[in-house]
C-alpha cells in the first residue's frame, strides 16, 4: 500500500516538477522508480491504418502491367528490355522498379525466359565377355618442364582384358590425333564391323565430329559418360592411377622425348608383366591374346602338387587358382532378383 501511495504521489508531481524532484520529494530513489517503471508493460501502440501511396498505380493499372509483362511478346524479356521497347513505341506504363515490384508480389521475379529442356543423360550400361568387345579411352595430362606446360597422353584400354590396345603422347589435345589413334588401333586389332563399342567421357576430343564420323564409318558403337560422373569411365581412371602411382613416375617430364620413353617402358611392363587383380592376376597380354587358360592350368598343377605334398596345410578346401570373370561391366544393372526384392520393400 505504501509503494502504491508513493507511485500515485510521483504520478501527480511528475508533470509539475519532473521525475527527479518528485522522487526527492517522496523519498524514493530515482533508480528504484525507473526500475519499477520498466517492470510495468508499456502501453499498446495504436495501430495506424496503412494508407496507399497517392502516387501508386491503381489495382487495374497493376493488373495491366502484369498482363503486359507476361504477354507472348514480352514473357521472354527482362523488365528493363520491355520498358525501353515500349518507350521506343511511344508508350509508358510504369518504371522498371515498379515492374519488378509487381512481379515480386506474384512470385514471378525469376528467370522468365523459356529454358531449353535437355533429356536426361542415360546411364551407360556396357558389358564385355571377351576381348575386343568394349574399349574405354581417355586423355590425361603429364606435367612438362615449365609451369603450366603439359603433355597429353591418349590411352585406349580393353575393359575385359585391361590390355592397352593403343596410346600416344602429344603436346596438345586434338580430335585429329584421337581419330588417327582410334583408326590405327582398330586396324591393328582386326576389328570387324558391328563388334566393338568404344566408351569415353565428354571431352572435346571424345565428343568431336571427326571421331564420331570415323567410328560410324568403321561400324563402331560409341557411348559417353554422364557429365561430372567419373564412375561411368572407371577402367581408364583406374589405369591412370596405376600409371601415376608407379615408383619411377616423375613429377615433371623434361621433354616430349622423355615422356614418350617413360610411357614406352610403362606400357610394356603393364601389358606383359603386371599381374592385374581384376583379371585373376593374369597379365593383360595373356588375357587379351587367349593365353590365360594355359597359365591357369600351370597354376592349378602347381597347387595340386603342393596339396599332394602337404594336404594338412590346406584346411578348408583344395587350393584352386583364381578364375577370370565371366563378364566385365560398366555400371552393371541390378539382378532381376534384386529388383524384385526392392520392389517389395514398402
Q: Please, what is the Cα angle at 86 between 83 and 88, to 5 degrees? A: 110
- Is the distance from CB of 241 to CB of 177 less than 8 angstroms? no
Q: What is the pTM of this model?
A: 0.65
Q: Are residues 78 and 175 in the same domain?
A: no
Q: Are residues 205 and 264 in the same domain?
A: yes
96-105 and 59-69 helices cross at what angle (nearest 10)?
A: 90
Give the tens place of pLDDT for each residue, 257-287.
Answer: 999 999 999 999 999 999 999 999 999 999 9
Q: Are residues 131 and 243 in the same domain?
A: yes
Q: Are residues 73 and 178 in the same domain?
A: no
Q: Write out the three cell numbers for 101.
A: 515490384
In a domain, 320, yes or no: no
Q: Are residues 134 and 229 in the same domain?
A: yes
pLDDT, residue 231, reads 84
Q: Are residues 195 and 162 in the same domain?
A: yes
Q: Are residues 141 and 247 in the same domain?
A: yes
Where b means 16+ CB within 10 Å and e means fewer, 162-198 reads bbbbbbbbbeebbbebbbbbbbebbeebebeeeebbb
Half-sphere exposure of 241 (CA within 13 A, CB side): 7
Cβ-count burial of 22 within 10 angstroms (0-12 exposed, 13-18 middle, 19+ buried)?
buried
How many CB atoms lie under 10 A from the CB of residue 100? Answer: 17
pLDDT, residue 64, reads 92
In a domain, 53, yes or no: no
In a domain, 311, yes or no: no
User: Which residues in the chain show pLDDT less than 70?
Assistant: 1, 38-42, 112-113, 336-346
Q: Are residues 175 and 241 in the same domain?
A: yes
Cβ-count burial of 255 within 10 angstroms (0-12 exposed, 13-18 middle, 19+ buried)?
exposed
CATH for 159: 3.30.420.10
Q: Are residues 215 and 153 in the same domain?
A: yes
Non-local (6+) Cβ contacts of 113 within 8 A are 76, 77
In a domain, 308, yes or no: no
In a domain, 221, yes or no: yes
pLDDT, residue 40, reads 58
Q: Write out the three cell numbers for 162.
A: 585391361
In a domain, 305, yes or no: no
Q: Are residues 84 and 136 in the same domain?
A: no
Q: Which domain holds residue 67?
A: 59-105
pLDDT, residue 336, reads 46
DSSP-assigned letter for residue 119: P
Q: How many domains does the chain have?
A: 3
In a domain, 114, yes or no: no
Phi, psi of 54 (to 5 degrees): -65, -25
Distance between CA atoms of 198 and 159, rounded to whole angstroms? 10
Q: Are residues 279 and 237 in the same domain?
A: yes
Q: Write out the three cell numbers for 327.
A: 563378364
32: Cα separation from own chain's centroid: 66
In a domain, 346, yes or no: no
Cβ-count burial of 213 within 10 angstroms (0-12 exposed, 13-18 middle, 19+ buried)?
exposed
Q: Are residues 99 and 202 in the same domain?
A: no
- Is the distance from CB of 146 to CB of 252 less than 8 angstroms? no
- State whether the Cα torsion 286-292-294-295 is positive or negative: positive
Q: Domain boundary residue among 284, 313, 337?
A: 284
pLDDT, residue 92, reads 93
Largest CA distance in the chain: 120
Amino acid at each position: 500500500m505504501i509503494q502504491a501511495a508513493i507511485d500515485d504521489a510521483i504520478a501527480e508531481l511528475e508533470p509539475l516538477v519532473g521525475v527527479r524532484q518528485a522522487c526527492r520529494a517522496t523519498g524514493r530513489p530515482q533508480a528504484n522508480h525507473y526500475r519499477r517503471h520498466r517492470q510495468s508493460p508499456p502501453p499498446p501502440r495504436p495501430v495506424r491504418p496503412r494508407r496507399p501511396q497517392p502516387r501508386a498505380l491503381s489495382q487495374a493499372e497493376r493488373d495491366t502491367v502484369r498482363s503486359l509483362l507476361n504477354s507472348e511478346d514480352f514473357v521472354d524479356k527482362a523488365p528493363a528490355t520491355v520498358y525501353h521497347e515500349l518507350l521506343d513505341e511511344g508508350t509508358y506504363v510504369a518504371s522498371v522498379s515498379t515492374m519488378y515490384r509487381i512481379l515480386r508480389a506474384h512470385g514471378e521475379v525469376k528467370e522468365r525466359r523459356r529454358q531449353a529442356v535437355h533429356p536426361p543423360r542415360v546411364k551407360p550400361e556396357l558389358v564385355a565377355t571377351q576381348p575386343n568387345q568394349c574399349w574405354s579411352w581417355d586423355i590425361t595430362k603429364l606435367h612438362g618442364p615449365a609451369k603450366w606446360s603439359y603433355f597429353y597422353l591418349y590411352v585406349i584400354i580393353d575393359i575385359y582384358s585391361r590390355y592397352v590396345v593403343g596410346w600416344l603422347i602429344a603436346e596438345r589435345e586434338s580430335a585429329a590425333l584421337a581419330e588417327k589413334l582410334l583408326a590405327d588401333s582398330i586396324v591393328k586389332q582386326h576389328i570387324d564391323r558391328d563388334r566393338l563399342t568404344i566408351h569415353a567421357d565428354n571431352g572435346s576430343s571424345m565428343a568431336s565430329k571427326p571421331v564420331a564420323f570415323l567410328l560410324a564409318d568403321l561400324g563402331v558403337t560409341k557411348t559417353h559418360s554422364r557429365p561430372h560422373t567419373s564412375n561411368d569411365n572407371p577402367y581408364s581412371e583406374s589405369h591412370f592411377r596405376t600409371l601415376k602411382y608407379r615408383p619411377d613416375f616423375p613429377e615433371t617430364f623434361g621433354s616430349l622425348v622423355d615422356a614418350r620413353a617413360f610411357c614406352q617402358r610403362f606400357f610394356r611392363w603393364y601389358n606383359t608383366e603386371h599381374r592385374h587383380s581384376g583379371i585373376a592376376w593374369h597379365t593383360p597380354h595373356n588375357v587379351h591374346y587367349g593365353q590365360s587358360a594355359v597359365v591357369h592350368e600351370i597354376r592349378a598343377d602347381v597347387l595340386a602338387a603342393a596339396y599332394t605334398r602337404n594336404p594338412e596345410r590346406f584346411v578348408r578346401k583344395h587350393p584352386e587358382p583364381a578364375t577370370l570373370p565371366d563378364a566385365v561391366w560398366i555400371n552393371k544393372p541390378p539382378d532381376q532378383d534384386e529388383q524384385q526384392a526392392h520392389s517389395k520393400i514398402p
